[in-house]
């Protein structure tokens, strides 16, 4: 059989986690519950930030974007998987597979850049508190988010265009979504250039931002250590504790996925490990930020109290005979 170019393939088959029919219903309800929790939790943060004028600062502006991103990131992979389980079909079209891969790379890159920008925001807030509002002005915040989008779009376009040049015979993807590494492994043509592009992008677009995060927190730790007040140290640490938890969770699970896939060589174990950063991390982010953030909790409480008190009260008068 002659190798076919990827553009000549009309569909792929997503094998998912298990081919056993008795497990499909359980998988469906588990991932549907996780998806709904993710969407609801991040929507609550978006609602809190947009409804409270006190939260219209750079810190919560980035948090607003991160929550919106987490909803899109999870929807890119989970929705198609849930539809396939419900319809008892493993098919994804060629266009759908490339689109899913494009948006997955786009949103995962945005996640890395936003976490880096948020680390810089915390660095300015703790190490330069008197100049914080001047440095992190609304124009700079919007520019930083725009740069994150541009870099992520360019990287995603490059990776997808490099994938289109490959020839492939195998149409079964041992994953629950169209992941870049899995697509390259299906190719029967030379993938050296694709791997070089991936490694270069990983160093430039993941390694450099991670180094920026480490540098920011090294400066933050140095500033906190130089504070004389214990209360000041605690307050400074609490402002970046949530972000540090999210960074640790995201990079820890991502690193665990690629280390496990490199050692086990099992496609199904790799798919299960991918759940950690594609589903679990976006689901836990709202809990990390809301449980440790009094401003978010107060904003939500104020919003729901206001909505309850503003409802019109209808009095029913009983007619006397």
Q: Which two tokens stand for residue 83?
A: 């539809």
Instruction: Check: CB of residue 50 under 8 Å from CB of residue 64.
Output: yes
Helix, strand, coil abundance in the chain, percent, nearest 5: 80, 5, 15
Give whichever of 59-68, 232-241, 271-280 has the largest mean pLDDT: 59-68
Residue 308 pLDDT > 80: no
> What confidence score (pLDDT) does residue 240 get?
86
239 compared with 6, residue with greater pLDDT: 239
Compute the average pLDDT of residues 156-173: 85
d(CA 14, CA 89) in angstroms, rounded, equals 9
Q: How far is C-alpha 4 from the geometric centre of its chain's CA atoms? A: 33
Question: With pLDDT > 70 as the criterion, what percentage of the chain qualifies?
Answer: 87
- Delineate the domains of the chain, giving CATH numbers in brackets: 7-290 (1.20.1070.10)
High-pLDDT (> 90) share of the chain, %: 46
As a whole number of angstroms, the distance between CA 118 and CA 120 comes to 5
Answer whether residue 160 shows pLDDT above 90: yes
What phi and psi values does residue 124 have, to the nearest 5 degrees?
A: -65, -40
pTM recorded for the entire structure: 0.89
Q: Is 70 exceeded by the pLDDT of residue 217?
A: yes
Q: Provide the pLDDT for residue 231.
A: 84
């Amino acid at each position: 059989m002659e190798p076919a170019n990827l553009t000549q393939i009309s569909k792929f088959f997503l094998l998912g986690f298990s081919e056993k029919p008795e497990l499909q219903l359980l998988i469906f309800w588990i991932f549907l519950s996780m998806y709904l929790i993710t969407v609801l939790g991040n929507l609550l943060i978006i609602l809190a930030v947009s409804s409270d004028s006190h939260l219209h600062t750079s810190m919560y502006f980035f948090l607003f974007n991160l929550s919106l991103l987490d909803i899109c990131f999870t929807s890119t992979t989970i929705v198609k998987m849930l539809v396939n389980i419900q319809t008892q079909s493993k098919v994804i079209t060629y266009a759908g597979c490339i689109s899913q891969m494009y948006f997955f790379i786009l949103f995962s890159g945005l996640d890395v850049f936003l976490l880096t920008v948020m680390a810089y925001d915390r660095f300015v807030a703790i190490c330069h508190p008197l100049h914080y509002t001047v440095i992190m002005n609304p124009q700079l915040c919007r520019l930083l988010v725009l740069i994150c989008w541009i870099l992520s779009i360019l990287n995603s376009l490059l990776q997808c265009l490099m994938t289109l040049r490959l020839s492939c015979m195998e149409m079964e993807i041992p994953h629950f979504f169209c992941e870049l590494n899995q697509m390259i492994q299906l190719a029967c043509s030379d993938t050296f250039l694709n791997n070089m592009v991936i490694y270069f992008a990983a160093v430039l677009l993941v390694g450099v931002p991670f180094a920026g995060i480490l540098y920011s927190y090294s400066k933050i730790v140095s500033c906190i250590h130089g504070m004389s007040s214990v209360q000041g140290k605690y307050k400074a640490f609490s402002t970046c504790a949530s972000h540090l938890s999210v960074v640790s969770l995201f990079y820890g699970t991502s690193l665990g996925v690629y280390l496990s896939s490199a050692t086990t060589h099992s496609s199904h174990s790799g798919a299960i490990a991918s759940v950690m950063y594609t589903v679990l991390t976006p689901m836990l982010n709202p809990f990390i930020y809301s449980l440790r953030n009094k401003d978010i909790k107060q904003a939500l409480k104020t919003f729901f109290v206001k909505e309850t008190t503003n409802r019109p009260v209808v009095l029913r008068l009983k007619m006397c005979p």
